[in-house]
Structure 1
Amino acid sequence: MAKARRVNWKRYVFGIIPVLVSVIFIWRLLTTSDSNNLQAILQNLPKEISQTLDSASSHKQDDAILEKFEKLTQELLKKQDEQLKTFERERKILEKRIQQLKQPPAHATLREKLAQVFEYGTTKRFPAFIWQTWPYSDLDERMDRTLQSYERSWGDKNPGFVHEIVNDDAVAALVHYLYSGVPEVIEAYDALPSPNLRADFFKYLILLARGGVYADIDTDPLQPVPNWIPENVHPKEIGLIIGIENDAHNPDWRSNYVRRLQFGNWIIQAKPGHPVMREIVAKVTEVTLQHKKDGDLRMNLRNDMNIMKWTGSGIWTDVIFTYFNDYVQSGVLSKITWKEFHDLKVPKLVGDVLVFPQSSFSAPEKDAKEGEGNNKALHFARHMHMRSWKQAPKVAQDS
């Protein structure tokens, strides 16, 4: 049985609609007697036609607009990248010119040069830097796993800080760059015969120039750096944070230390340009150049006292006490001696130097019992003495 032919009704609809529109238009034209109404109809007719055409072509127009917009966006991004590159080049040029302008006159003294190149701003915040040194990267297989965990802990506990581990080659390049205007410092650094002496000197050099925290690689942080400053002390009042290394209670302290009470230098926080950092850099420079002049750079570096007096905690302690007793610089009116810090249990602010008890940066591995002067809130780091300079150093050979 043959199938009935299906009527294509769509074709008839599209044919009937124009006819109906024409009939309605003619009817409205014939029935109206008002010329104004007729004129209004004729005027609105193009609008109705244009709206119909607009709706039919809207998709094509949208695509065209989007295409133009994307093209414009790409051009703007390209121009922005070019401008950023231009600004970066100009910034480097300007920074170089500023560095050149800060070059001190040749006739200036060592301390005058350091003061001019590295100005001290007491109201500035502590820069968010953590500096450490090691002969190679923490990713190197030679890196001790324990030391690796310590240095990574510094970064993990201080996520807002820039944490830099500077190797020996980078240290030398950085010192030559930062102290290009003070050639005496560069000469002294290059003359130091031991990597341990250079590491000691670098901690002072980087804190004077850039500020922040220096921590020996064998220190294990227990609390974030911002926790160090007590709530009752405003950060702007502080320019330097240190801890006590040794507070001797025995009369034979001279067999192990240079001073009755010594400040540690394995963890230091400083603002750039601080007078104590400037003076320690000047002192180490002078001592080193004198050793070079006298021809005794190869002195007995196995002797702890020699290291302490040259770049270590001995000379560091002397510089700090000298600063305390210099009213012009520290603003401290009374005489400051080791007794001011003997049996220290809480932080003490002297001038703009905040001094912490011995346990703050050398916290015991097993905390003492309550009631024995133990204050865990002040335990900020442990010093493990794993890279102690008490080991025999490698002395540089003559070329």
Structure 2
Amino acid sequence: MAKSRGASWKRYAFVLIPLLAGSYFIWRLLSSARSTDLQAILQNLPKEITQSIDSAASSQKKDEALIEMFEKFSREVLQKQDEQMRNFERERKALEKKIQDLKQPSAHATLREKLALIFQYGTTRKFPAFIWQTWPYSDMDERMDKTLQTYERNWGEKNPGFVHEIINDDTASALVHYYYSSIPEVIEAYDALPSANLKADFFKYLVLFARGGVYADIDTNPLQPVPNWIPENVSPKEIGLIIGVESDANSPDWRSNYVRRLQFGNWIMLAKRGHPVVREIVAKVTETTLQRRADGELRSNLRNDLNIMKWTGSGIWTDVIFTYFNDYVQSGVFEKITWKDFHLLKVPKLVGDVLVFPQVSFSAPEKPEKEDKEEETNKALHFVTHKNLKSWKTAPKVADDS
């Protein structure tokens, strides 16, 4: 029995040993294949990551290039739109001018209706960048007084963006005939005025009404640029006319020197084209002049200052302004306005669309006689000095100098 069991064990061992050896060999083979595949995967992984990154970078560059092209295209479109808008604006202005030139008032229209039709007013417009002065000589003429020459040049230097014109008598006449060609009454009145002084006064209003801008007597010297005149808390769109107090009389004998107790000056004025106040004084001077001619009184009292003030000067100017203030339909002011509203005025006052400055603003001292705290405080309101040389009286006659 024992011999039979030993033979059986050997028989099983002979079968199991080759089987185990074969299994081990197969396992080694499979293990080696997996290791090779994994190694290959690990070796290829950096390449795949790099390719992915490169692909992402390439895509980003494409996106950036596309965005840059889009931005460039947008800029070109906006530039073309701006150019088109500028062209449209130029064409609009040209067309507007042609339409304005074609406007002809009705034969039955009143003088004021004609003026309002030809020179329309709009408060939202900007103040035109013009500075108008009148004098027989330009600043380049050696006959020009040195002081007045300095003043005139200061206007240009302090306002470099403005068109600055010194108008002589012949040029003034030509401009009046051109601007008012469709309103013959105005031309007739201008030509009928018997003195150069009266014509110079009338021309102030006529050129401001037709073109707008600043009018400044030749004996005025600017201390600050014109844009500084408008306070920061007031929009230029709210203003149509800027004036200053000329005289604020306290003495009882004021009637010997002035027409009104408080008068507004006409040596400095800033107006938008077609302003109703300027329109009214153009109409008033025209009517008064033609009536005086009809009555044979054109040459009466030409040397009397008060007569000139009432005819073309600051007297009639003041009356027209107060009439405007108290016409609520035009000014939009619903309270009664009198000279007391501007008596001892210290700061600018806006009434309707008219900005009124204190007396010191357009008649500022060149050098204060003494240190004054109040004067120093108001120095920001010192815009113009006025020599009050009555240059309109002493203007030389060109014909006599030739």
- Both structures adopt the same fold (TM-score exceeding 0.5): yes
Deviation of the 1:125 alpha carbon: 0.8
The 1:293–1:393 alpha-carbon spacing in structure 2 relative to 1, beyond 3 Å, is farther
Which of 367, 382, 385 pairs up with 1:382?
385
After superposition, residues 159-308 of structure 1 pair within 5 angstroms as 159-308=160-309
CA contact (8 A) 1:301 1:392 kept: no
1:359-398 equivalences under 5 Å are 359-367=360-368, 369-374=371-376, 375-389=378-392
State the Cα distance separating 1:203 from its structure 2 match.
0.7
Structure 1 unaligned blocks of 5 or more:
1-87
Deviations 1:271-306, CA, capped at 9 Å, x for gaps: 001000100100000111011111111111111100
Work out the number of aligned pairs and report it: 308
Bigger drift between 298-307 and 323-332 goes to: 298-307
Cross-structure match for 1:23: none
Amino acid at match of 1:119: Q
SS of match in other structure, 1:131: strand
Q: Is the 8 A contact 1:323 1:330 kept in 2?
A: yes
- The structure that has the greater radius of gyration is 2
* TM-score (normalised: structure 1): 0.74
Structure 1 residues 298-353: Cα deviation after superposition (integer angstroms, max 9, x where no partner): 11111110000000000000000000000000000100000000000000000000
User: What's the counterpart of residue 73 of structure 1?
Assistant: none
For 1:165 and 1:185, how far apart are their aligned partners in 2? 22
Name 2:48's counterpart in structure 1. Answer: none
Q: After TM superposition, give the deviation of residue 364 of structure 1 in Å.
A: 1.5
C-alpha distance in 2 between matches for 1:280 and 1:393? 27
CA RMSD of aligned residues (A): 2.3
Letter matched to residue 110 of structure 2: T
- Whether contact under 8 Å (1:345, 1:373) holds in the other structure is no
Contact in 1 for aligned 2:124/2:238 (Cα 8 Å)? yes
Q: Displacement of 1:135 after TM fit? A: 1.2
* Contact 2:198–2:308 (8 Å) recurs in 1: yes
Question: Partners of 2:396 and 2:251 in 1: how far apart?
Answer: 29
Q: Which residue of 1 aligns with 2:132?
A: 131
Q: Distance in 1 between matches of 2:366 and 2:103?
A: 47
Q: CA deviation at 1:365?
A: 2.7
| Kept after mapping to 2: 8 A contact 1:302/1:393 | no
**SS in structure 1 at match of 2:373:** coil
Q: If each structure's helix is expressed as a fraction of its own residues, which one has the higher value?
A: 2
1:146-181 deviation per Cα after TM superposition (whole angstroms, max 9, x unaligned)? 111101000000001111111111110000000011
The verdict on how the C-alpha distance between 1:197 and 1:182 changes in structure 2, with shifts beyond 3 A counting, is: same
Aligned partner of 1:357 in structure 2 is 358
Task: Provide the C-alpha distance between the structure 1 equivalents of 2:93 and 2:131, rounded to a whole number of angstroms.
Answer: 24
Unaligned runs of 5+ in 2: 1-89
Cα gap change, 1:381/1:96 in structure 2, threshold over 3 Å: closer, same or farther?
Answer: closer
Q: Report deviation, 1:106.
A: 1.4
Is the aligned partner of 1:341 residue 2:337? Answer: no
* 2:149 counterpart SS class: helix
Between the aligned partners of 2:143 and 2:290, the Cα distance in structure 1 is: 34
Residues 329 and 181 (structure 1 numbering): CA distance in 2 closer, same or farther, change over 3 Å? Answer: same
Deviation for aligned residue 1:99:
4.2
Asked whether the equivalents of residues 200 and 392 of structure 2 are also in contact (C-alpha less than 8 Å), the reply is no
Q: How does 1:42-61 map to 2 (within 5 A)?
A: none
Cα 1:112–1:140, aligned 2, differ >3 Å: closer, same or farther? same
Please tell me whether the aligned partners of residues 363 and 386 of structure 2 are also in contact (alpha carbons under 8 angstroms): yes
Structure 1's 392 and 165: CA in aligned 2 closer, same or farther, altered over 3 A? closer
* Cα deviation, residue 386, structure 1: 2.5
Structure 1 residues 231 and 287, CA gap change in structure 2 (3 angstroms): same
Q: What is the correspondence of 1:8-23 to structure 2 with a 5 Å cutoff?
A: none
The equivalent of 1:154 in structure 2 is: 155
Amino acid at match of 2:208: L
